[in-house]
Chain A
Amino acid sequence: MSLDIVQMVLVTVVSAATPLIIAAMGELVAERAGVLNLGVEGMMVLGAAVGFAVAVETGSTLLGAVGGAGAGLALSALFGLLTVGLAANQVASGLALTIMGLGLSGLAGASYVGLKREPAPHLHIPVLSDLPGVGRLLFGADAFVYVALALVAGVSWFLWRTRAGLTLRAIGDDHTATHALGLPVRKVRFLAVLFGGACAGLAGAYLSLAYTPFWAPAMTAGRGWIALALVVFASWRPLRVAAGALLFGGTTVLQLHAQAAGLGLPGQALSALPYIATILALVLLSLGRRQGGSLAPAALGRDFTPHR
């Protein structure tokens, strides 16, 4: 394989991992605050529909991305109202959110089916983007890819280097104690849920604006669920989530290339490879660092009612 093909493969790996990273970062923050939102797939697919619709109407990819994130945010606000505000069951509400998102997106996107638009523009810096071997990979991606990277760095920094991040993690571990300390448990959780929704919506918008620039119902094809699983297997750590997403995207793309190159390996086994490889790698990683007890935020998925 020439250098250009290697670079091309790496570029597709990154673009396959980007939606997973964006959605998983949002879910990670929500779960760190103690809220399990199983509606990622629903928010993502609604983000894809609304993002595409806004982009077509306005002609602007940026507004489309904002619209997609906004749609995810709106749907997550409903979820936050139910689970954080009214202490409804998080698992049931999250599943309902996925079903609702899939239905709503069909409705919102109905008149945009079969339309196409140009994919999101890619960065182009005269000399740097043309560097052989690495130019396109490092300096020629679309804005979503850089946003995903910024999200990983930003979430890491926020959770472990700021007071607000410490508060958020503390609330995710013990809502009763943090509430007794006077910390705004429900407010922080609600904001974390909104952040998760906006990220999921943005990830969806990436699919319909940059990855495969058209809208088709259910086009997320389970990526929301994979993002959810990544958060768990990466033991709620941003860098590991990113690594897991790249590994998942990488094995997905590489197995397709292996098939196209005619290596003669069975297709079904190769299709299962990304799942097996990612789970194995992340589980082994978690085992190595494990120091007794669960790695999950201790209050994850538990309802909180302050006055009872």
Chain B
Amino acid sequence: MRSITGALIGALILSLGPARAEDKLKVGFVYVGPVADYGYSFQHDESRKALVAALPGKVETTFLENVPEADSERAIEKLARSGMGLIFTTSFGFMEPTLKVARKFPKVRFEHATGYKRAANVSTYSARFYEGRYVCGKIAGKLSKSGTVGYIASFPIPEVVSGINAFMLGAQSVNPNLKLKIVWVNTWFDPGKEAEAAKALLAQGADILTQHTDSAAPLQEAEKQGRLAFGQSSDQYRFAPKAQLTSIVDDWSHYVVAEAKAALDGTWKSQDTWQGIKDGMVVLAPFTNMPDDVKALAEETKAGIVAGRIHPFRGPVTKQDGTVAVKDGEIAPDPMILGMNWYVKGIDDTLPQ
């Protein structure tokens, strides 16, 4: 009996001890899609799981999935009201609602993914996806036999356009004559339409597909027709073991853990974070379905980006209309990449405005 009481008191003291110094941090996540999409929202939820694993007993997490952008203010406010200390809002469209709620709850810290507006209690974070696309472009430039690559694009926003440009620059560095066929599907997620776009591109002679939409349908179509393709957001090898070359995987884990730690230590401050392959925020899935020399080139490109030797937008970069965007030897400044609304030379498509 005494030992039980002793243990109880001990547990009480233990729980009072460190918990008093800094209460358990409640962390909320808001996702635009379902956590089971095996893509964008899935990867964000992986970071939440990593947080729970990295700081056991110190954090308590909650998430809201399938939150429509138009209705997100209510969802974010609900989390803020329920005593969250740190809230991650993970879609571009959550930007204004996040700022609005942040004004009402100045003590709650917010983290908005892929946006550009900050406040005293709102940080932003995003990944340099274009670095991954540059590596993909090199692989495609080496592997395409028909000399035509198909690109399934979602919406003409800078993130997508800079991805297309980086891919093309990568491809041109190994095959200056490579042609890129771009199809805009005007959706982030519609398996049927993405599959139709893939079929159209393959019928027009593309032998490699890449996509900036979220479903595995284009990969599956490539697999079915015996062509090659790149995955998106998460490793989609399981859908197309014979077609996937690599996949650009978003890994938010270490960032989310670091920010939660900072919030616990009291060192959290509003800032902008934009990381790439070097920091592990952009990860390339294993290089598969390619010969060893191409694999070596891909690894070397990746290592070059990590070391800073290679930058996708190192000059000279020429725009589609022939004007020079980045001079020889210079590197495109971040604001230029973040606001990119023009194609590089060699892309035969009109950018929807």
A residues whose Cβ falls under 8 Å from a Cβ of B: 5, 8-9, 12, 16, 19, 106, 109-110, 113-114, 116, 119, 207, 211-214, 216-219, 221-223, 252-253, 256-257, 259-262, 264, 266-268, 270-271
Contact = CB atoms under 8 A, between A and B. Distances in A.
B185 A106 contact: no
Interface in B178-230: 181-187, 189-197, 199-201, 203-204, 206, 215-217, 220, 224
A116 B196 contact: no
Contacts of A219: 191-192, 215
B311 to A, nearest CB: 29
A216 B200 contact: no
Which of the listed residues A223, A267, A271 has the most CB atoms from chain B within 10 Å of its own CB?
A267
B181 A223 contact: no
A259 B152 CA distance: 10
A26 to B, nearest CB: 19
A74 B239 CA distance: 31
Contacts of B216: 116, 214, 216
25 contacts: A19-B192, A113-B37, A113-B38, A116-B216, A116-B238, A207-B192, A211-B192, A211-B195, A212-B215, A212-B217, A213-B220, A214-B191, A214-B220, A217-B34, A219-B192, A253-B200, A256-B183, A256-B197, A259-B182, A259-B184, A264-B350, A266-B350, A267-B183, A270-B184, A271-B184
A216 B184 contact: no
B278 to A, nearest CB: 29
Contacts of A211: 191-192, 195
Contacts of B191: 207, 211-212, 214, 216, 219, 221
Nearest to B348: A262
A114 B350 contact: no
Interface in B292-349: 348-349
B150 interface: yes
B38 A114 contact: yes
* Interface pairs A-B: 6 shortest CB-CB: A267-B184, A221-B190, A217-B34, A212-B191, A113-B36, A271-B186
Contacts of B203: 5, 8-9, 257, 260
Interface string B157-197: 00000000000000000000000011111110111111111
Contact of A218 (B184, B189, B199): B189
A106 B66 CA distance: 11
B182 A216 contact: no
A267 B348 contact: no
Contacts of A256: 183, 185, 193, 196-197, 200
A214 B204 CA distance: 25
Contact of A260 (B36, B183, B194, B224): B183
Contacts of A253: 196, 200
A88 B240 CA distance: 47
A260 B186 contact: no
Interface string B24-41: 000000000110111000
